[in-house]
Amino acid sequence: MKMAIIGSTGAVGQELKRLVQENNTDPSALICFDSKSSISFDGIDLAFFCVSKEVAKELIPKAREKGVLCIDSSTAYRADPDVPLVIPEINGHILNQHQGIIASPNCTTTLMLLPLAPLHRRFRIKRIVAATYQAVSGAGRGAMEELEEQTKAVLANEVPIPNLFPYPCAFNVFPHESAMDDSGYVAEEIKMHQETRKILDDENVSVTATCVRVPVFRVHSIALNVEFQNPIQKEEVLEILKKAPGVVLQNTPIPLDAAQQKPVFCGRIRLDHTQSNTLEMWVVGDQLLKGAALNMIQIAGRLYTEQK
């Protein structure tokens, strides 16, 4: 099988390249493209798109004309009702419904839902309140370089100059930089609501989020308050999470420990003492891995395993 990575030099593309090479001993089976002008889909069976939605919208139709199966990490097709939006551990069973394009969800949505989906199956989620603490690498490799440069500048008593972000990211936190709509929510927060409903296949689940950038290179963290329709017991919640695929239960997960790790780590599990049927938890995960590159690899792996 001939594979291609479109956008191989970005933060997600680099992780994806490493994961493909780890799992494939034939180096000739992978072609990497970092420029639109150099791309050819001739002879390609599967293409991973690690590009903006604008570039994905331009290139994926061309790839489909060549019969290429496309796995896209952008927002280009996530809301399309004809395109599966997939986290394999949660809704991998819908992969066979694809028509040549499969969307991988927003990184924060993926990390949040990995522990919540099995709880939803048992107790039925009514409402999720999320506060995110998002690493700068969610904005790409250049954002990591910007954090490093600004950190050095501050330590040298210089004024940090923002470039990719609206504010300095070193020694600072600020609301997520994605576009804000008339309601006051930013795009990142809206994605979490819309994508959660599609992935869980449940329009009765509501998500309200406040997304924030923090001066961390990689790994997103999420504080969750989750209200369920049915009564919950902490002991049963813990048993479900212990068995949840891709989830590691810890007392106090932190980004430093989760960096470059494939699982999503979940802890601080407690019942909300102010409201019945409500759970509090803390989730951390490497958004470049399970939040993006690893999820794409797992989509491809499950597809081709089922086709054998």
Active-site residues, by number, are 107, 220
Strand intervals (E) in 58-213: 69-72, 101-103, 125-134, 174-175, 206-213
Distance separating alpha carbons of residues 225 and 238, to the nearest angstrom: 16
Tell me the C-alpha to C-alpha distance, in Å, between residue 219 and each of 1, 63, 172, 265, 291. Answer: 32, 32, 16, 11, 9
What b/e string do you get for 193-217 counting C-beta neighbours within 10 Å, with b at 16 or more? bebbebbbeeeebebebebebbbbb
Tell me the C-alpha to C-alpha distance, in Å, between residue 106 and each of 77, 129, 187, 194. Answer: 12, 17, 11, 10
User: What would the two tokens of residue 24 be?
Assistant: 């494939």
Identity of residue 190? I
